[in-house]
Each structure stands twice: as C-alpha cells, then as structure tokens.
Structure 1
C-alpha cells in the first residue's frame, strides 16, 4: 500500500509538472518582455530655452524610444499659445552589447505669441505621453535685446526732397526697406496724410549692400505727394508688413514670424497761393516751353506754303515737381482759314519733370496771309517766389495757290491718232464709167477697216484703268496708297491735288464731291481726336473708285465724239 501511494504521489507530481510547465514558460516570457515594453512606452519632450521673448524662436524636441509612425504626434495642441513650423522627423537604430534599441525624434521651431506664462502641453504617443513644459515669455526689450535684433534684421527709412512747398506743388517721398533675413508675403503700404494726393512713381529698385559686415537687400520705392491745402500737414510713414522665416536649419523648416515696420512721420509746411497771382496756378521751380515746326522754318514772320500743304506744330511742356493731373490744357485759337487736327497729348515723367507733348497738323484752306497764334503760360517760380511767364512765338504764313493744280495735275489731254490719208483727202466723184467705181469701193472698204481698227484701239486705250499721271508722280495711285496706309497727312495732300485736277468733272457731281470731302474730314477727325475712334478706309476707297469710273465714262465719250466721221 505504501509503495502504491508513493507511486501515486510521484505520478501526481509528474502530472503537475507537465501541466504547469507551459504556464511557467509563458510567465517567464511575460516577465522578460515587461521591461522592454516599459522602455518603448517612454516619451520625452525638451526645449532649447524656457525663458524667451515674444516671437523669439526656440526648438522643441519630442522623442520616443521605439520606431513609430512619423505622424504619431499631433502638434496642433500648440496653436492657442504658440506659432510653430513644420516638424522634421528622424529615426535611429543602435546595437550595444548585443542589445538593439530604436528611437524616433521630432524637432520643431516654436515661438510664443504673448507675454506671460505659456505651457507646452503633453503630447500623447501611443499609450504614454510627455510631461508638460512651462515657458516664461518676456517682452522683446527684456530678453537679449531682441528688439535690436529685429531692428537689425528688417529696417525701413523714409525721406522727402523738401519740407516746405506751395499748395499744388509736389514732393518726392522715397522709402527704403533693408532686409537682412528670409521673408515671405512682404508688402509695402503707401504713405498717407490728410491734404495729400499720393501716387507711386516708376518701378521699385533693388540692390545689395553690406553694413557692419552684414549683407542687406535694399528695396527703394518713390512716391509723388501733392499738397492740396495749406498749413502744417503730417505725412504718416509707409508701412511694411511681412513674415520672417526663422529657426530653419537642417532638421527643421523654421517658423514664420510677423514683421511690421513703420517709417517715421514727417511734418511739412504747405504755403498758400499768393493773393495777387494771375492765371492758372502752376507752382514749380522750373517750367520749360518749346515748339518745333515741320517742315522747319527759319523766319517766323515769313513762311511761304501752298493751299492744302500740311504743317506740323509740336509743343512740348516740361514742369518740375508737379503731378500729371495738374498739367494745364493747351488751347490755341486758330483762324478759320486753316483746318486744325490735334493729336492726343502724350505724357511722360523725366527726372522729376512731368512732360506733355502736343502735336497739331495745320492745313491752309485758302490763299492769303495767315497768322498762327503764339502761346503764353503764367507760372509761379517757387525758387524765387515770383510770378513768371514762358512764351513761344506764332508763325505767319504766306499761303499761295498751288501753281501746278491746273497744269501738272490736270487730266491728260486726249491725243487723237493722226487720221489716214483717206480721211484727209476728199473722195472725188467720177461720172464716167470704167474701173474707178471698183477702185472706189475697194478704197472705201479699206477705209472702213482702218476706222474699225482705230476705234477698237481707242476704246482699249480709254477703257484701261484711269491713271492720272503727272510725269513725276501718280496722284491717284499715291492717294490710294496713302488711304491704305492710313496716313492722314499724305491723304490730305494728295486728295487736295486730285480734287483740283478733277474739279470740272466733280462739279457735275456735287453729292459725290460732298461725300468725298466728308469722308476725308472724318478720317482726319478720327486720327487726331483725343478719343480712340477707329476709321474704316473702305468707304473712302469706294467713293474714289466711283469717281474714277465717272472719269473713264467722260473720257470715253469725249474720245468717241472726236472720232465721229461727221
């Protein structure tokens, strides 16, 4: 019995070992893995500084001792109190004494938004999280002279060319931006002030300079400020806004920090218009008035020209320190004996001057003495504080009729072909019979054949395209070419010549003549109108073709009449 009990105890013990061994092995494995899981769950957050200034960039690092998805950390929890950039993620693996370890680290640039105490919250990574970090945020002037650092990174200056001007006078306001760091979304707002009209002049200029060993990009912009009322006026400086990219390095893309800079305010003394000033108010230190004539003239008091021959007058007005909107309108009154066509004034800016160029085409309409008017402009010299006058002379024209109107440009005479001998010598009548009747019949047949050939040749000559020749110039062809080229001066010149040449024919067609005159005037008005009015040259070409057809019919009728045997 004892032996059997002992066997039974041994069997029970073996059975227990067999049953417990797997559980003991699993328990041992779990005990072994617990430290590894505990180490993998450890996460940590650190900062490069815990006392910073507003908008001062510092580095935040978050690490975990395992390989993990790079998107496992949510940095949006920083938004309420911090600005931050894009994080950079790095992973590492090491093997020390046969033990392998892995880690993942996030590095991000951060800047506090407000003065006071800010807390970087805990970041949850898997089943663990980091410890919150308290940051002390000071004003710029309280931490490492950060204001001076910002001032050195971006600076803005402004200056004017004069501090005392008259009402209506303009000054140049120049602003410069010195940029010593990477910026994005930069913009510059114009200066402002009550009683000023402001406009930008030209394009921005850029250059690089080095100051105290540091390189800056300098952007220069010019504004024109025009005083609109008298008194002490304040120019509020131009404003620069942008975002500086700071804290960028090989491990982080950096963070954008707002940068706002204002140029200094400037006070100006605006003087009123003098009470005794006469004329249009033009305050300027310099006004220049010039003119040119084409063709050029040597004697202003005695210039000979022809009816219908155009003269071009170009007036140029240059005024310093005045806005284009304040440039005067030039109005010249011409006599009725000339036709005037004004081109649209052209404006430009040159070295502080506003420049206006006005071109006028003058076409005499009848013979005689014609006085073209002078031009006088009153202005106030701000340098001498005195009223001045600038003047350009007029021109006296001695207009004569075109001596070639009835000869050189007259229709070509119809040249008859010399008649045959049969047409000159009368046919004698013979009363006696014989061979003469037959000879006469043959001679008459030959005469009829000759006359038929002559008429056919004459019709081919006259019905050919009607070209008005002058020996030196083809007026109709030149007129058509000028119309196709939309050259109003040449059209006016050739049309007047052709009109005088075709006077007799056109006098029988008053309606057509009026249509031609009206269309030429419409062309000139469209070309020299201050408005952009397009002109279609097809109407004038059609009218000219109609007139040419009348010329062909008239010449054909005349030629056939001259060949009538009666």
Structure 2
C-alpha cells in the first residue's frame, strides 16, 4: 500500500514539474549565415503573466520579431491551455551559436545549440528565394555632385504585403528618391524572379570616403504547404525572410582648386540657361509691362542647389520680380533640377535700353572641366505710348467767391456727418436684432478635422502606438464614448480588438490599420436626445475617390 502511494506521489510531482516548465524548440538547428530561425517558447502554466526576458539574446542574435499565441486543446475530457511565444532570430556570427536559457518568472528554458554555416558566395546567393543587390553608377564623385544608387530586390517566392525596407539614413549626404519603386520580372538561371527596383540620388556634402550603408529588407514568404490551413485570425503561415544589401564605399573628391572662388559651386553633367518674353521685346512701349522668364536647368543637381540668377537692374526699367519656381524631375540618369525666375519689366522712357548678359559658371562632371552657360546681351527699343500722352487743359480762372457759399458749406458738412452716423447706428441696431441673445459656446480643444486626418494617417501607416493616441484624441471630441460606438457598430468593435491585440500581443508589426480606418469611415451617425440627428462634424471624404 505504501509503495502504491509513493508511486502516485511521484507521478503527480512529475506532472506538476512538466506543467510548470518552459519548453524551448527551434524549427531547425542548421542554417546559413544571414538566414533566420524561429524559437518557440511554450508554457502550460496559465497563472503566469508577462513575457519572457529576451535580453540574453541581444548579444548573439538580432531579434526580428515576436508574437504570442494562446491555445486551448482538449485531451479527452479535460481542456488544457498553453501559451506560446514565437521569436524570430538571426545569428550575428557563424559557427556554433548557443541560444541561452530564457527566464519567465521562476521558469527557465534549456539552451539550444545552432550550427551557422559560412555565408554563400555571390553566385550562390542568386539561388536563394530572396536576395538583394545594390550598385552605384560611379565609384567617385565631386562633393555635392550626384551619384545614383540602384537597389534591386529579387524573389522567386510569393511575398505577403507586409514587406518593409529600412530607410537610407546618411547624415553626411543628401538623399532624394527617384520616383516610385518599379516592379517587373526577370529570368535568372531558368527561374522567374519578381524584381522590386528602387533608385536614389545621393549628394555627398563632405569630401573623403563615404560608406553607403546596408539596407535591410524583410517580408513574410508564403508557405504553400500550409496555405490550405490559413487562419485569418491567427498569424500568417509562412517564414519571415530578412536580407541586407552590401555596403558600398564611395570616394568623394573636393572642389577643384581652379574653380572660381566667388562663383557658386555647381557640379553637373549639363546646364542650360534660356529666356522667354511675353509679349516680345520688340513690342516694348513706355508704361507697358514685359514679362521675362529665365529658366536655369541642371542635369545631376537638385533644384535647391541652383543659385539665384542676377537681377535686371537697368536705368529706364522698373522691375517687379515674382517668387522663383523650383522643380525636380526624375530621369534615367538621375535628378534634373530647374529654377524659373519671372520678372515684370516696365519702361519709363523711350529709346534704346541695353540689358546685360547673364552668365552661369558650372563644373562639367562628364568632361571634368569648367563650363559657362550664358545669355547674350539684348537691347530693347522702347517706343512711345500714345495712350500715355498728356493733354494740356487750360486751367479755369478763379472768380469771386460768393459769401453765401462760404457760409453754407459748414452746415452741409455737419448735415452729411449726422446722416452718416444715423445710418450707421441703424445698421448696427438691425444687425444686433438678428443675432441670438446668447452666443453659442465656441468649441474648445483641437480641430476635429485635424484629429481625423491624424487618425487616418496613423491607421494607413500601420503604426499601433500612434493610432491608439490619435483614436483617443478623436473619441474625446465625439458625443459618445468609444465603447458606446463599438457597442452599436460591430466592424468598429472587431477593428478595436485587432488593434488591442497588436498592442498587447507583441504582433504590432503585422497589424494593418486599414480595417480600423474603414470602420471609422463607415460609422453611422447617432441621434441626440431631442430626436434630431446630430451633425457629423467629421465629414469624411471617400477613402478611394474616383
């Protein structure tokens, strides 16, 4: 009897220890450098709250993402609950790397050893399902000159729409995107690849060596084997893929010593200077306005780098300038910047008026020499304007002043003033009668329209934290609480559940805010206590206007 009792006690103790353990597993133990691995931590203790301490992982791994999954399974007659934390890791080093033990309250996982093989060669990387390539159009440029960075992302597998690319952050250079990303297909070794191409114009601001940093691309590859069991309320079936572009060094040359010190530094492939007159300058007349448009266009420079053109300061012409118009245009060779300056010129005398030549100095980066773009001098032949000829009119001789007129005008002036003040008082009295006795209270707080625009921006940007703050600020301006709106409108309640799940279940990076915005956009108006429909202060434009 005592032996049976001991056996039962040991069995219960083993079950208790198993229920309170933190099990750690990985999807594979052998992987190549640059690939990611999924670590799964599972606990069946429902009394534990919080999440595991991931601090020991940061020394050897990059934590690409975490998500929490709560499961409830039936084992015969009893229901068993468990919690899983799925952590996506990318080793920082090759060789044998150990995933250290992780703690959750009093529980601790066991260590796991991974074998990370050396990185593949450039030729072998093209056999990967997703890889990235980066290149510059030239290896060295002058300071403030343009170099074009082309980034191509190749994928032979389908990707979800949660892909992201790290920004190109370069404090020592100015970066301008060249248009929208382009997508096309390319056949590599008999395998069709989708290509995402992005181009940037980079303008270094300091001479010396500049390192173009690597950009990280991450996406979820579609798992065709588990696509039939896709759960719309759970995590997407697939594997998180993360690749990095190579770092590229760039040699930045200083401004040539032969360049004039008093001229603005303009390194470009081509510069043009042109002018347009309206009307034509040969039709100039005294007092008429001539509009002169000067256009400076540079291939390989941004519009903000173009200097102001010399003003037309000539005796005999009055000048009325407009604000300069700056524009950038993306081309196959990079950025084309333009600066247009318009001025109205009015001649105040007849005869010939000479306009000086306009010259712009620039450095030709293609031929590596100093160039000059200029407009030749011009002479305006200003004709007389018959409409401005003055007619001499004989002034009337002063006659005797009537005594009655001198005595009568003060009474006329006082009568006119009295009539005006009486009319003004009657107008103010009539306007005051039409105003309400008590002015309505002015709305306090921020503009509801601005709050709604901010909410739309954060939702479409898929930013969970900013969306939560913008949603609370918008709800405070509404006649009912956010809970009341969710209670009477089911799509809003479902969208709020998705937002809260992303905020508190470590899955914010997979949250899509479009459903929340659509729910707020379709929220029906609520009637007030007097039975009249309250005016919708947040009249929304259509999400996709036609």
- Please, what TM-score do these two structures have when normalized by structure 2? 0.51
Which residue matches 1:155? 132
- For 1:368, the equivalent position in structure 2 comes to 351
The corresponding residue for 1:80 is: 56
The answer for the alignment partner of 1:354 in structure 2 is 337
CA displacement, residues 435-477 of structure 1 (integer Å, 9 cap, x when unaligned): xxxxxxxxxxxxxxxxxxxxxxxxxxxxxxxxxxxxxxxxxxx
**Cα RMSD for the two superposed structures:** 5.1
Which of 191, 194, 212 in structure 2 is aligned with 1:237? 212
- Answer 1 or 2: which has greater helix percent: 1
Judge conservation of contact 2:259–2:370 (CA < 8 Å) in 1: no
Task: Find the aligned partners of 2:362 and 2:54 in 1 and give their Cα distance.
Answer: 66
Instruction: Return the alpha-carbon distance in structure 1 between the equivalents of residues 353 and 54 of structure 2.
Output: 86
- Taking the TM superposition and a 5 Å limit, the aligned residue runs for 1:375-414 are 375-384=358-367, 385=369, 387-403=371-387, 405-406=389-390
5 Å-filtered alignment, 1:108-187, equals 108-110=85-87, 116-120=97-101, 133-141=110-118, 153-160=130-137, 162-163=138-139, 165=141, 167=142, 170-176=145-151, 178=153, 186-187=165-166
Q: 1:288 to 1:393 in 2, by over 3 A?
A: same
Contact 1:158–1:263 (8 Å) recurs in 2: no
CA distance change for structure 1 residues 397 and 334 in 2, over 3 Å: closer, same or farther?
Answer: farther
Name the count of aligned residue pairs.
Answer: 359
Match in the other structure for 2:201: 223
Question: Aligned partners of 2:171 and 2:103: how far apart in 1?
Answer: 48
Which deviations, in whole Å up to 9, do the C-alpha atoms of 1:478-523 show, x marking residues without a partner? Answer: xxxxxxxxxxxxxxxxxxxxxxxxxxxxxxxxxxxxxxxxxxxxxx
1:60 alignment counterpart:
40
CA–CA distance in structure 2, aligned partners of residues 159 and 106 of structure 1:
48
Helix, strand or coil at the partner of 2:314: coil
**How much does 1:322 deviate?**
3.5
- Gaps (5+ residues) in structure 1? 1-23, 298-302, 415-566
CA deviation string 1:174-218 (max 9, x = no partner): 24152756667742234566xxx5342555424354665475562
Question: Against the structure 1 CA distance between its residues 156 and 190, is the aligned structure 2 distance closer, same or farther, given a 3 Å change threshold?
Answer: farther
Alignment partner of 1:272 is 2:253: no
Please list the CA deviations of residues 322-380 of structure 1 after superposition, one character each: whole Å capped at 9, or x if unmatched: 34454343224543222111222222223433212121211111233333334344545
Contact 1:187 1:242 in 2 (8 A): yes
Q: Which runs of structure 2 are paired with 1:263-302 in the superposition (5 Å)?
A: 263-267=247-251, 272-274=256-258, 282-297=266-281
Q: 1:142 to 1:245 in 2, by over 3 A?
A: same
CA 1:134–1:149: 2 relative to 1, 3 Å: farther
Give 1:93's match in structure 2, choosing from 74, 79, 96.
74
| Other-structure match for 2:183 | 207
Contact 1:198 1:226 (8 Å CA) reproduced: yes
Paired residues of 1:52 and 1:135 also in contact (CA < 8 A): no
Going from structure 1 to structure 2, the CA distance change for 1:185 and 1:49 (only over 3 Å counts) comes to closer
Distance 1:325 1:273, change over 3 A: farther
Distance 2:73 2:344 in 1: 85
Q: Is contact 1:226-1:322 (8 Å) kept? A: no
* Structure 2: tracts of 5 or more residues without a match: 397-546
Question: Counterparts of 1:187 and 1:402 in 2: how far apart (Å)?
Answer: 68
C-alpha distance in 2 between matches for 1:267 and 1:175: 17
Structure 1 residue 236 displacement after superposition: 0.7
Q: Which position in structure 1 is the counterpart of 2:25?
A: 47
SS of the equivalent of 1:170 reads: coil
Q: 1:85 to 1:140 in 2, by over 3 A?
A: farther
The residue that corresponds to 1:198 in the other structure is: 174
User: Is the 2:36–2:240 Cα contact (8 Å) retained in structure 1?
Assistant: no
Partner of 1:329: 308
Q: Is the 8 A contact 2:347 2:382 kept in 1?
A: no
CA contact (8 A) 1:369 1:396 kept: yes
CA contact (8 A) 1:315 1:357 kept: yes
CA contact (8 A) 1:169 1:321 kept: no
Q: CA deviation at 1:226?
A: 5.0
User: Contact conserved, 2:98 with 2:114, CA < 8 A, in 1?
Assistant: yes
Give distance in 1, aligned partners of 2:268 and 2:102. 66
Q: TM-score, normalised by structure 1?
A: 0.49
Alpha-carbon shift at residue 140 of structure 1 (Å): 4.8
Q: Measure how far apart 1:158 and its partner are.
A: 2.9
* CA spacing shift, 1:74–1:372, aligned 2, 3 Å: closer
Q: Secondary structure at the match of 2:118?
A: helix
**Higher mean Cα deviation, 248-257 or 266-275?**
248-257
Match of 1:516 in 2: none
**Counterparts of 1:368 and 1:316, CA distance in 2:** 28
Shift of 1:246: 8.6
Helix, strand or coil at the partner of 2:296: strand
Distance 1:31 1:168 in 2: 83
Cα deviation code 1:111-138 (max 9, x no counterpart): 566764345569899xxx89x5341133
Task: Determine helix, strand or coil for the equivalent of 1:91.
Answer: strand
